[in-house]
Amino acid sequence: MIKKLNSIIPARAALCVALLSAAGLASALELPWDGELHGFVDGRGGVRTQSDPGEDERNLTELRAQLDSLTYFERFQLQIRGDFIYDELADDIEKIDLESGRGFFDLREMNVVFSPLDWSDVKVGRQILTWGTGDLLFINDLFPKDWNSFMLGRDVEYLKAPSDAIYASFFPSFVNIDLVYTPRFDADRYIDGERVSFYDMTGRYVGQDNAIDAEDRDDWFSDDEIAARLYRNIHGYETALYLYHGFWKSPVGYDVVGDAPYFPELNVFGASAKGSALSGIMNFETGYYDSREDRSGSDPFIPNSELRFLSGYQRELAKNLTAGVQYYVEWMMDYDAYADSLTPGTAARDELRHVLTLRLTQMLMNQNLILSVFTFFSPSDRDVYVRPSATYKISDNWSTSVNGNFFFGERKYTFFGRFRRNNSVNLSLRYNF
């Protein structure tokens, strides 16, 4: 393994170094165009802290160089941001797949922003999209997530996967309106067993050798997604209504005929509010997940509809120490129909899945050392996911971090417990320019 590493690294590393020096040069000199060029080089290595029968012992060995350019034109701005990656653990690194982010190049953003009207902005192209009020819990944010990056321990920015979409915002005086049209479904970069293993509801282990391969949803304009948000400030509270028409973002359905997981149809209707209360910030969010292909709840291969709710509160506990707590619940509709339809040998989910989270962040040494821990705890599933991290800013350009991902659970098949083979720690070194 080491030998292989040695033979491959020089070529790719040379590429990265070349990129870096080009970028460094460009940023040091006056750019020949009206714009800005920035980025970073991030090296990261991680190991599993327990054995996993179907995955590599190391879970991260990568070097990535991100280039971020912003160019101003008279009527619009052009942004291009992409990562060149050398990933020792990836197969077929030469094959670039911009949808899944596989290969040696991951295009994060490539979009133009313009204002067709004084009260409207439009962003067209590849972009990162986020909305909603939860902290690492998402109800109405149905934009693609990269759960592999999240659990492997890449920087948290990689939790958000890019969307290829048209994002139109309108700002009449009484309300703000956001409309997002994604002409071809952008799935989550979901956990498939390739890099992160798991146990399914039957207790079966899924790893590299039996990684799941979902049916594609890639027909232009028919496998499309619409997301909308209406928001406004009411007496200091940020309130919003949401609508989503598309598909479950991970392949949670099972196509019996095609014998493969797939992305069933989904609508979501939701609302949120956020504002200051009790010397802190409070937020509420809810969403009704209308599982369009199984409204009766009797199909065991398609998830039932659900009502989801979260509430959060964050405040400063002491100087440079903040805490955030959240309560989150998923309430499965038509639970009896679900329970009746289960095939023998499949574990049943609970009707209500409760999750509590706690985030603690401590800044030390003139805010150059940041210690944080984020914990998910489900009292109903009796499982835990802990994410400790320490980041130190060595200088304006250099930073280093240590991160961990730890899963505990009484049972193998629960939401976090099923990742019990993926406990890991990693170390990163980053140069920003």
Partner 1 sequence: MKRITVLIAAAGLACNLLGELSVAEIVERANQASYYAGDDGSADVTMTITDKGGSVRTREFRVLRMNTGQGTQKFYVYFKKPADLYKQVYLVWKEVKEGKDDSRWMWLPALNLKRSIAPGDKRISFVGSDFVYEDVSGRSLKEDKHELVETTDEQYVLKNTPVNPESVEFASYTVWIDKQTMLPRKAEYYDKSGKLLRTVEAVKVETIQGFPTVIESVAKDLNSGSTTVNTYSAIKYNIGLNERIFTERFLRRPPREAVR
Cα angle, residue 309 at apex, residues 304 and 314 outer, rounded to 5°: 150
**Please, which residue, 21 or 115, has the CB nearer to partner 1?**
115
DSSP, res 417 = G
Q: CA 273 to CA 77: how far, in whole Å? A: 32
Residue 252: CB minimum distance to partner 1, A: 25
**Please, which residue, 110 or 214, has the CB nearer to partner 1?**
110
List CB contacts of 269: < 8 A, sequence separation 6 or more.
242, 243, 244, 287, 288, 290
**Please, which residue, 82 or 251, has the CB nearer to partner 1?**
82
**Please, which residue, 305 or 391, has the CB nearer to partner 1?**
391
**Please, which residue, 159 or 310, has the CB nearer to partner 1?**
159
From the CA atom positions of the chain, what is the Rg in Å?
22
**Please, which residue, 90 or 156, has the CB nearer to partner 1?**
156
Residues in the chain: 433
Residue 390: CB minimum distance to partner 1, A: 16
Q: Which residues are 176's β-sheet partners?
A: 231
Residue 384: CB minimum distance to partner 1, A: 25
Residue 210: CB minimum distance to partner 1, A: 33
**Please, which residue, 70 or 371, has the CB nearer to partner 1?**
70
Residue 276: CB minimum distance to partner 1, A: 6
Q: The dihedral of CA 299, 301, 302, 306: what is its sign?
A: positive
CA separation (Å) from 427 to 8, 46, 59, 60? 21, 6, 11, 9
Q: CA 301 to CA 335: how far, in whole Å? A: 14
Three-state secondary structure call for residue 52: coil
**Please, which residue, 135 or 215, has the CB nearer to partner 1?**
135
Residue 393: CB minimum distance to partner 1, A: 7
Footprint of partner 1 (CB under 8 A):
38-40, 68, 70, 72, 77, 113, 115, 121, 123, 127-130, 156-157, 159-160, 169, 171, 176, 231, 236, 274, 276, 279-281, 314-316, 319-320, 322, 366-368, 393, 395-397, 399, 432-433
Q: What are phi and psi of 157, to 5 degrees?
A: -60, -25
Residue 314: CB minimum distance to partner 1, A: 5
**Please, which residue, 98 or 156, has the CB nearer to partner 1?**
156
Q: Which residues are 300's β-sheet partners?
A: none
**Please, which residue, 121 or 265, has the CB nearer to partner 1?**
121
Residue in 126, 5, 23, 4 with CA at minimum distance from that of residue 84: 23
Residue 140: CB minimum distance to partner 1, A: 14
Residue 246: CB minimum distance to partner 1, A: 18
Contact of 255 with 261, CB cutoff 8 Å: yes
Strand 105-117 versus strand 120-127 pairing type: antiparallel
Residue 221: CB minimum distance to partner 1, A: 25
The secondary structure of 152-213 as a DSSP string is: HT--GGGGBPPEEEEEEEE--TT-EEEEEEESS----B---SSSS-EE-TTS-EE-GGG---
Contact of 166 with 181, CB cutoff 8 Å: yes
